[in-house]
Chain A
Amino acid sequence: MTALPGLLMTLAVYLAVDAVHQRSGRRPVTNPVLWTVIVLIATLRLTGYDYGAYREGGRLIHALLAPAVVAMAWPLWQRRMLILGDARALVGGALAGGAAGALSAVLLARLLGLPDEMVTSIATRSITSPVAMGITERIGGVPALAAVFSILSGILGAVTGPKVMSLAGIRGSAAGFAIGTASHGIGTAQVMQEDREAGSYASVGMSLQAIIGGLIVAALWRIFG
């Protein structure tokens, strides 16, 4: 029974926020996870409802996270021909983008004097949140911070990505792939709305980063951590 308030609260807020997101044309800035979390945290703060008690209900929803990540095998399988046909460019781009993104994030965070928990948790920011949380736990980061850094990077990449790519002279499939690599699901959804072909490449960029991102971050951590 103690699980019920947290469970209902999460579902109710998510459904309401998602309805707004759908109605506003699915813009990245109305990202349902970000706004659900903001509303939930505000609610916990204002009502004084205990976070530990909230977690009892949250656990039930959280239990579906790992099987949902496993389910990402399905879109990956569907795009296997695209990946195999372009393997060198896509794996090369994923390694370069993943390494440059993670390394620059950690170095900038250090340089700017961010606290250690944030430096560790920012390394996975180009990896989709559910996977980023799993990886950050294994290198000593904070899952909630890692997830939110990923979401913010996703929104940022979705909003600015097309402009950044055209300024850099990168177009078409490669641009879609790059946006998916740097801003995972949120960037991919944005590209998909504009160009389905580039969107497929964005989806592949996101999937490859989910798989090899952990290896890249672990390797960098061993060298620079």
Chain B
Amino acid sequence: MRLAAGLLILFLAAAAGGRIAAAAGGPLPGSVIGLLTLLPFLAVSAVRRVIEPAAELLLRHLPLFFVPACTGLVLWLDLLAGNAARLAAALVLSTWIGMIAAGWVAARLGAGSGRR
């Protein structure tokens, strides 16, 4: 019962977020708008009790849910193969640049300093 109610809320929040995203435009996808809409309601303990089992179930299997969309890659294989080396260079360097920037700024501003 709790699981079903939790899943219902997650689906409704996703659907509502999708509607808002479609109407409002802007860069945030409906699922993120749904997440932000749900967040304040988690202050209510009854909502938390219902959401917890449903959220943990969906999050445990999250990787499976984006497999079908990734399989769309089949339409892009030639493009990928023709650009593999340059793509790898762009991904490697930008991952490191983003990581160092995030870590450097977070450390400068004292992330975790209260705990360690």
A interface residues, Cβ below 8 angstroms from B: 6, 10-11, 14, 32-33, 36-37, 40-41, 44-45, 51, 54-55, 57-59, 61-62, 64-77, 85-86, 88-90, 92-102, 104-105, 108-109, 112-115, 117-118, 122, 125-126, 129-131, 133-135, 137-139, 142-145, 147-149, 151-153, 156-157, 160-161, 164-165, 168, 170-175, 177-179, 181-183, 185, 197, 201, 205, 210-211, 214-215, 217-218, 221
Contact = CB atoms under 8 A, between A and B. Distances in A.
A70 B96 contact: no
Contacts of B95: 101, 125-126, 153, 156-157, 160, 182-183
A50 to B, nearest CB: 11
Contact of B70 (A69, A129, A182): A129
Interface string B9-31: 01101110110010000111111
14 contacts: A44-B71, A66-B30, A68-B59, A71-B54, A89-B110, A93-B109, A96-B101, A114-B90, A122-B91, A125-B95, A134-B31, A137-B29, A144-B70, A156-B91
A123 B95 CA distance: 11
A145 B91 CA distance: 12
Contacts of B112: 86, 89, 172-174, 177, 197, 201
Nearest to B107: A174
B27 A175 contact: no
Contacts of A178: 99-100, 102-104, 106
Contacts of A122: 87, 90-91, 94
A112 B70 CA distance: 24
B8 to A, nearest CB: 10
Contacts of B98: 97-98, 100-102, 104-105, 126, 181-182
Contact of A69 (B31, B101, B115): B31
A144 B69 contact: yes
B34 A92 contact: no
A191 B25 CA distance: 36
Contacts of A133: 29, 66, 69
Given A168-B100, A168-B104, A72 B90 contact: no
Given A65-B69, A97-B102, A115 B10 contact: no
B68 A61 contact: yes
Given A68-B65, A100-B98, A130-B65, A168 B75 contact: no
B39 interface: yes
B59 A37 contact: no
A202 to B, nearest CB: 11
Contacts of A62: 65-66, 68-69
Interface in B69-109: 69-77, 79, 83, 86-87, 89-109
